[in-house]
Amino acid sequence: MIKEVIVVEGRDDITAVKRAVDAELIAVGGFGINKKVIDRIKEAQKRQGVIVLTDPDFAGDKIRRIISKRVEGIKHAYITQSEGTKGDDIGVENAEPEVIIKALEKAKCTVKEKREEFNIQDMMFFKLVGDPNSKERRDKLGKELGIGYCNANQFISRLNNFGITKEEFVKAIKKINI
């Protein structure tokens, strides 16, 4: 399990990185990096650290620069164009798992034990799943904790991977009155 949250460009990159390592990922959606995404990256950096792994091309470098200007202290992982090329397509999604692992190791990623502080029972107890208002509750709580909105399974993953404590969780729930 990689401690840092890995920032990639898109969903195909997430799939490729997940084939290589167990980690929390954020996809920026290409040049569409908005304030909400930057805020999630800042929260991830504050809690666990961030490694940026973008495509080895002009667009990837530009995205990397945008993130670096807005979020201090992030780490960078790189693959070469030859490692990320399949046919005419260049991108992280084309890299072999060994290449991604090597790039993350060179970026000095931290390996940690898989954290399982939160589980589906917590989601049910706090009505974050199985309740008519679960979606709204997860949305409000995700904003308060800085982890964004997602389905219940991803919410559990983010709570664990962002290092959120039970105390922080309960305090956030009380603050937003859900």
The CA-based dihedral angle spanning residues 10, 101, 51, 158, taken in that order and rounded to the nearest 10 degrees: 70
Structure confidence by residue, pLDDT tens digits, 102-153: 999 999 999 988 889 999 999 999 999 999 999 999 999 999 999 999 999 9
In CATH terms, 5-106 corresponds, of 2.20.28.90, 3.40.50.720, 3.40.1360.10, 3.10.400.10, to: 3.40.1360.10
The CA-based dihedral angle spanning residues 158, 23, 17, 128, taken in that order and rounded to the nearest 10 degrees: -20
Q: What does pTM read for this prediction?
A: 0.86
Average pLDDT of each block of 10 consecutive residues along the chain (178 residues)? 96 96 93 89 96 96 95 97 94 97 96 92 95 95 94 94 94 87
Q: Where are the domains of the chain?
A: 5-106, 120-176
Q: What angle do CA 116, 161, 111 make, to 5 degrees?
A: 95
